[in-house]
Amino acid sequence: MKDLIKRLTEAFGPSGSEGPVREVIRKEVEPYVDEIRVDAMGNLICLKKGSGGGKKVILDAHMDEIGVIVTHIDDNGFLRFANIGGVSPMVALGQRVYFENGTFGVIGCEKLDDIKDLRLEKLYMDIGATSREEASKKVKVGDMAAFFQPAIDMGNRIVAKAMDDRIGCVVVIEALKRIKQSEHDIYAVFATQEEVGLRGARVAAYGINPDVGIAFDVTGTGDTPKAHTMEVSLGKGAAIKVKDSSLICHPGLRDYLVKLAEEKGIPYQMEVLQRGGTDSGAIQLTRAGVPAGVISIPSRYIHSPCEMVDLGDVEACVNLCVAACESPLDF
């Protein structure tokens, strides 16, 4: 699993440019599913057919990551950019970024009299070019770049960029590999454009018209020095979401997941996330409504290139996902 986490987090995939991630996942899941298709929004939808009589279940994880998009190239070959998703200027400053064609850049900042004036508009990208002409040979306005950071194996914890939400993808992939018997038609949706408004999942869910939707995404923790108040801690198990800014989870499904975790002895914690949304927010409001929930992977330093997860938590999420798929889901 560590190898898969490394390959997936290091793949390139800002929102709208998820192609490379999609190819890694497609190869990985092909032997374990019955049908694979890609829809108009680029969602990778994989169907693992059930034994019959069950429900249509979406397991969703988003492929896209935050990044930047080039808006202007100046005479001296410096690039200006805008954010794709929630990019903090504090986090972006001093980072290395890379484009899909392999071009690297570094993020510099105009002279500031006060660090409080730090804004994304004050930042620029330097790809080592000396003129607009030279820069334009490698990068065009509208090209996207992702943050560059190789994954680091810390033993039971792993740090990487794009752990949000490749670790969710890993959980769903692992579950597809481990599910032994399910009556349900499982639609694994590897969704696009979550970071810019839950947009891939919205259309995927409309197309599939499911009976149940469960998203797998990262959630914050309250266990770091002077963190904001939150009960979730790294290493204490799968987080079963009650609420975030995008949805209030279906109470029946939520309690069903809690009961499953208790029966199977899977470590879990209850989660209320004050800021941030997940694909389930879109899935829930599909057509005439879908019971939707979220199993979250606790993560520190979300939306930085150093997102940290605990392998014990990842394992708990996989186990809970498998248990849910192998259960009747009759909440």
Partner 1 sequence: MDLREFLKKASLAHGVSGFEFMDIASLAKDAMEGLVDEIHVDVLGNVIGVKHGQGPQPRPKIMLAGHMDEIGLIVTKIEEGGFLRFAPVGGVDQRVLPAHEVIVYGKRPLTAVIGVKPPHLTSPEEAKNAHKMKDLFIDTGLPEEEVRNLVRVGDVVTFKRQVSELMGDRLSGKALDDRAGVAVILACLDELRKYKVDADVYAVATSQEEVSLGGAVVSAYGIQPDIGIAIDVCHGETPGVPEWRTSSVGKGPALAQGANIHPKVFAALEKAAKETGVNVQKEIAPAATGTDAWAMQVTRAGVATGLVSIPLRYMHTSVETLSMSDIEGAGRLLARFIASCDAGFVKELKTWI
Does 289 help bind partner 1 (rule: CB under 8 A)?
A: yes
Quote the DSSP letter at residue 228.
P
Is 280 a binding residue for partner 1 by CB under 8 A? The answer is no
Question: Which of the ranges 120-128, 177-185, 279-287, 302-310 carries the binding residues for partner 1, by CB under 8 A?
Answer: 279-287
In the complex, the smallest distance separating the C-beta of residue 35 from partner 1, rounded to whole angstroms, is 26
Give dist(CA 298, CA 221) in Å, integer.
6
Interface size with partner 1, residues (CB under 8 A): 28
Question: Could you tell me the CA-to-CA distances from 288 to 2, 29, 104, 224, 241 in Å, in that order?
Answer: 40, 31, 46, 41, 22
Q: Please give the residues from 201 up to 260 whose contact with partner 1 meets the rule CB under 8 A.
A: 222, 228-231, 242-243, 246-251, 254
Catalytic machinery residues:
194
Q: How many alpha carbons fall within 13 Å on the CB side of residue 35?
A: 10
Residue 262 contacts partner 1 per CB under 8 A: no
Question: How far is it, in rounded angstroms, from Cα 211 to Cα 204?
Answer: 13
Pick from 10, 271, 307, 310: which binds partner 1 (CB under 8 A)?
271
Nearest residue (CB) to partner 1, 237 versus 305: 237
Closer CB to partner 1, 54 or 77, in the complex: 54
Q: 190 forms bridges with which residues in the sheet?
A: 44, 61
Least distance (Å) from partner 1 to the CB of residue 184?
Answer: 17
Beta carbons within 10 angstroms of residue 33's beta carbon: 17
- Nearest distance from C-beta of residue 293 to partner 1, angstroms: 12
The least CB distance from residue 79 to partner 1, in Å, is 36
- DSSP secondary structure letter of residue 14: B
Q: How far is the CB of 197 from partner 1 (least distance, A)?
A: 13
Q: What is the rounded CA–CA span in Å between residue 52 and residue 328? A: 11
CB burial readout 194-208, b (16+ within 10 A) else e: bbbebbbbbbbbebb
Q: Which of 284, 296, 304, 319 binds partner 1 (CB under 8 A)?
A: 284
CA–CA distance, 6 with 93 (Å, rounded to integer) = 24
Residue count of the chain:
331
Between 106 and 248, CB nearer to partner 1 = 248
- Write out the residues near partner 1 by the rule CB under 8 A: 222, 228-231, 242-243, 246-251, 254, 269-272, 274, 281, 284-291
